[in-house]
Amino acid sequence: MTVSAQLDKLDAESVTIEERSPFQVVMRRFIRHRLAMVSLAVMVVIFIVTLLAPYITSFKVDEINVSKYFVPFGTVDEPTGRIHYLGTDNIGRDYFSRIIYAGRISLTVALLSVLISETIGIFVGAVSGFYGKWVDAILMRFVEFMLTVPTLPLLLIISSMLLRNEDLIPIPESVLKFVGNIMLLNPRDARNAVLIVVVLAGFGWLSSAQLMRGTVLSLREQTFVEASRSLGGTNIWIIMKHMIPNAMAPIIVDASLALAGYVVAEAALAFLGFGIQDPVPTWGNMLSATQTYMFDKPWLPLLPGIPIFVCSLAFNYIGDGLRDALDPRLKL
């Protein structure tokens, strides 16, 4: 019997087609990216550890014992029986506790900066690309001008001004309380963290605005936009309902890649003395504190440096996996 004859005898109910939602297709493609999955697992573990910092660590971040500075790894605190898993710093503070709390602060700053900057970039880019003409000209010329300005020197100048002048940008108490609860900081330290987020997000939305504009420019000529307008949809409704949701794929990838940049940027500001200051621990200011002792104890910079490297690498691999998963041209 030929193959065609066998196919003719097949009952219609015996032939099934597996249907997948767009989300299932994206997840299947993402799971196939092994480095992205490993990186995602690493970041989930890091986030869980930082969230459980008060329960994992046995020392407070500001607990000082000047008689036990730079003790070796695994040293036991004889009076209490607690263990210094990574030793202590130059004034006897437990390194393991400070690195975990620093991760909570540094990663929270990066996440908040990404959320704020991407939100601003999405709306500016969507409005610019959809309306075009003079609106697009004004917004994009401003974006292009800001992109030509050297970012790091400007970040240093602005962060220094904001941190020294508490009245320059008033911050609501509710915001300080919210950030303080997340990062386990008092209101004064929470204010510094909020200002760093404002500084980073204030310059981080430019690239996402350009990306959203380019995507919206290609979408606004599609037939579904004309159909929505013919049904009485306003411009704001079309932007919010159709433009932004259909342009989110490249923004998601950009946000995942931007996380790595914000982790490094926050560390750079703190390292140069313009970010969150000691005694509040961040990976950047902990790295800065090792400069004086790194020649005698060359492993010290590795303790805060390795988490910065691991998180940056993991976020980049996750972004690479999302880029492949969200690419409609990629074959299953």
Whether 21 shows a pLDDT value over 80: the answer reads no
Is 10 inside any structural domain? Answer: no
Percent of the chain at pLDDT exceeding 90: 31
Residue 43 belongs to some domain of the structure: yes
| Contact (CB, 8 A) for 29 and 324 | yes
pLDDT of the residue at 8? 54
Q: Determine the Cα–Cα distance for residues 332 and 330; give it in Å rounded to an integer.
A: 7
Q: Is residue 17 very low, low, confident or very high in pLDDT (cuts 50, 70, 90)?
A: low
Q: Please tell me whether residue 82 adopts helix, strand or coil conformation.
A: strand
**pLDDT-derived band of residue 140, with 50, 70 and 90 as boundaries?**
very high
DSSP letter, residue 59: S
Please report which confidence band the pLDDT of residue 11 belongs to, taking 50, 70 and 90 as the band edges.
low
Question: What does the mean pLDDT of the chain come to?
Answer: 86
Residue 9 has pLDDT above 70, yes or no: no
Per-residue pLDDT at 110 exceeds 60: yes
- Residue 183, domain member (yes or no): yes
CATH number of the domain encompassing residue 319: 1.10.3720.10
Choice among 36-40, 166-170, 251-255, 284-288 with the minimum mean pLDDT:
166-170
Q: Scanning the structure block, which residue is given the tokens 């609860």?
A: 181
Query: Whole domain around residue 143: which residue ranges?
Result: 24-325
Q: Structurally, how many domains does the chain consist of? A: 1
Give helix 187-219 / helix 151-164 axis angle, nearest 10°: 140
Residue 17 lies in a domain: no
38 within a domain of the structure (yes/no):
yes
Q: What is the pTM of this model?
A: 0.88
Is residue 286 included in any domain, yes or no? Answer: yes
Distance separating alpha carbons of residues 332 and 329, to the nearest angstrom:
10
User: Does residue 52 belong to any structural domain of this protein?
Assistant: yes
Half-sphere exposure in the Cβ direction for 179 (13 Å, CA) = 28
The answer to the question of residue 67 being in a domain is yes
189 torsion bin: left (phi>0), alpha (psi -120 to 50), beta (else) = alpha
Supply the angle between the helices 248-271 and 95-131 in degrees, to the nearest 10.
Answer: 140
